[in-house]
């Protein structure tokens, strides 16, 4: 049975030591600095809102209103959870806005726990964000290092040097580190789509035609774009992502990204034409040669497999049209190292982490050789 502690022991245990008193003093001093920063931020925010034409209401400790002890002010509504990931929620109570940076980080981590399920507001990813957090999310460094960069005078916001790490960065503010513009990193999303016919590879179409983004609209709310576009009548493997660096690599000629197509033609292709495609032909925009070409059937000579790394517009169709053939159907069966295996026409899937990693290092030696 657990013995009950005596009152004297409780008094001893609960008595404040000298170190505790010093710590309490330090915390009070820290809070005073925090309040001072908040007062300065509130004043700057008030000035910005007045310049933008936003109506503000003074608040204070009396019914007539006025500034409170911290020099703050209130709007008619408070914003809860300003985050780069989700839409803002509004509350009539200021209590809802009292979220610590740690709790916001945990919430953000939970939102990004599963790739492809992240929510985002493309038009306004966040309303405001502490400057050091903004720098960290731009991928420059951690928050502590970011705070030191700010205090050292290396950061400007809209051309003005800011020395306060907690300065609230507004949406569309331009943040620069030593003159270089910083941009927030988004959660990367990678999707493989088996593109069906009659869909176009654009974000939107003035004519109201169906786009590939219509197919993946429930996959993520990140702003996606197709990589290695296919024309309306071409089907097969298509990658969609919001990773601009990877997209540029997969479409840059120096990486020689492999693409394999299955081509169905209106008539059998002669052996002489197959040899011409392999050796290379001269088109209106220059010379082109297939990396490999072969019949896909011993009986039907009008179904051809062709491997090519050129990214020129409609290149496969133009090769066969140049030789007098009409392309009845064109299907991309491989792009880079990805195939449409286990992905039905019109369906999609997220790329596995290993597949993404392979894409990022694919043919990297090609560019090293070219640079020598």
Could you say which of 185, 215, 236 is where a domain stops?
A: 185
pTM > 0.85:
no
- Is there a single domain that holds both residue 258 and residue 352? yes
Nearest CA among 364, 359, 363 for reference residue 190? 359
Are 216 and 346 in a shared domain? yes
19 and 51, same domain (yes or no)? yes
Q: Which of 66-70, 116-120, 149-153 has the lowest mean pLDDT?
A: 116-120
Give residue 350's pLDDT.
Answer: 96
Is residue 68 flagged as an active site residue?
Answer: no
87 in any annotated domain: no
Read off the CATH number of the domain in which 159 is found.
Answer: 3.10.290.10
Q: How far apart are CA 304 and CA 310, in angstroms?
A: 18
> 95 lies in a domain?
no
Q: Are residues 295 and 179 part of one domain?
A: no
Please name which of 294, 225, 299 lies closest in space to residue 261, comparing C-alpha atoms: 294
Chain center to CA of 183: 11
Residue 82 in this model has a pLDDT that exceeds 80 = no
Domain count for the chain: 3
Residue 142 lies inside a defined structural domain of this protein: yes
- Asked if residue 10 belongs to a domain, the reply is yes
Residues 147 and 211 grouped into a single domain:
no
Choose the weakest-confidence range: 34-48, 118-132, 312-326, 351-365: 118-132
Same domain (yes/no): 213, 312: yes
Among residues of the chain, what percentage have pLDDT more than 70? 70
Domain that holds residue 170: 121-185
Average pLDDT, the chain: 76
CA distances from 298 to 273, 277, 302, 315 (A): 17, 19, 10, 26
Q: DSSP string of 331-363?
A: EEEEETTEE-TT--TT-EEEPPHHHHHHHHHTT
The pLDDT of residue 335 is 95
Token representation of residue 311:
């990214």
Which residues are bridge partners to 155 per DSSP? 177
Task: Please check whether residues 30 and 127 belong to one and the same domain.
Answer: no
* Residue 196 and residue 56 share a domain: no
Dihedral angle computed from the Cα positions of residues 22, 27, 31 and 34, in that order, rounded to the nearest 10 degrees: 110
**Percent of the chain scored above 90 by pLDDT?**
41
CB 84 within 8 A of CB 184: yes
pLDDT at 220 over 80: yes
CATH of the domain at 359: 3.30.2350.10
- The rounded distance, in Å, linking the Cα atoms of 126 and 135 is 14
On the CB side of 93, CA atoms within 13 Å amount to 4
Residue 228 and residue 356 in one domain: yes
- Answer yes or no: is 162 within a domain: yes
pLDDT by residue (tens digit) across 163-214?
999 999 987 889 999 888 888 777 889 999 999 999 999 877 788 899 999 9
Q: Tell me: do 166 and 23 sit in the same domain.
A: no
Of 76, 104, 129, which marks where a domain is finished? 76
Mean pLDDT for the stretch of residues 222-249: 88
Mean pLDDT of 14-33: 71
Is there a single domain that holds both residue 354 and residue 219?
Answer: yes
Residue 56: predicted pLDDT: 55
Active-site choice (10, 231, 245, 266)? 231
Say if residue 239 is in the same domain as residue 347. Answer: yes
Whether residue 94 is contained in a domain is answered as: no
For residue 281, tell me if it sits in a domain: yes
How confident is the model at residue 110, as a pLDDT? 43
Sign of CA dihedral 83, 184, 365, 225: positive
Residue 38's pLDDT band, with cuts at 50, 70 and 90, is confident
Q: Please report, for residues 3, 86, 131, the alpha-carbon distance to residue 354 in angstroms, rounded to integers and kept in the order given.
A: 58, 28, 34
- Residue 148 in this model has a pLDDT that exceeds 60: yes
261 in a structural domain = yes
- pLDDT tens digit string along 231-241? 999 999 999 98
């Amino acid at each position: 049975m657990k013995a009950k502690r005596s009152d004297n022991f409780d008094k001893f245990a609960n008595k404040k030591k000298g170190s505790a008193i010093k710590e309490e003093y330090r915390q009070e001093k820290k809070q005073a600095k925090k309040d001072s920063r908040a007062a300065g931020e509130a004043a700057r925010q008030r000035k910005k809102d007045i310049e933008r034409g936003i109506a503000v209401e003074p608040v204070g400790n009396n019914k007539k209103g006025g500034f409170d002890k911290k020099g703050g002010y209130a709007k008619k509504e408070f914003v809860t959870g300003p985050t780069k990931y989700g839409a803002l929620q509004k509350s009539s109570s200021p209590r809802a806005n009292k979220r610590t940076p740690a709790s916001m980080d945990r919430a953000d981590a939970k939102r990004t726990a599963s790739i492809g399920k992240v929510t985002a507001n493309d038009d306004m990813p966040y309303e405001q964000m502490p400057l050091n957090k903004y720098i960290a999310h731009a991928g420059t460094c951690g928050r502590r290092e970011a705070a030191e960069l700010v205090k050292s005078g290396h950061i400007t916001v809209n051309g003005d040097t800011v020395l306060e790490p907690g300065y609230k960065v507004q949406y569309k503010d331009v943040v620069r580190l030593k003159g270089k513009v910083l941009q927030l990193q988004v959660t990367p999303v990678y999707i493989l789509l088996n593109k069906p016919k009659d869909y176009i590879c654009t974000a939107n179409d003035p004519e109201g035609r169906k786009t590939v983004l219509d197919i993946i609209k429930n996959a993520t709310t990140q702003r996606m774009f197709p990589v290695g576009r296919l024309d309306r009548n071409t089907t097969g493997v298509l990658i969609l992502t919001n990773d601009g660096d990877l997209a540029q690599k997969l479409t840059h000629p120096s990486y020689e990204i492999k693409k394999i197509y299955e081509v169905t033609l209106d008539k059998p292709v002669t052996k002489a034409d197959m040899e011409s495609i392999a050796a290379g032909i001269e088109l209106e925009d220059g010379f082109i040669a297939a990396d490999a070409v072969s019949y896909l059937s011993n009986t039907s000579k009008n179904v051809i497999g062709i491997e090519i790394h050129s990214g020129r517009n409609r290149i496969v169709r133009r090769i066969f049209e140049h030789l007098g053939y009409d392309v009845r159907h064109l299907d991309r069966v491989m792009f880079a190292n990805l195939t449409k295996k286990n992905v039905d026409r019109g369906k999609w899937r997220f790329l596995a982490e290993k597949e993404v990693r392979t894409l990022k290092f694919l043919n990297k030696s090609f560019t090293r050789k070219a640079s020598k």
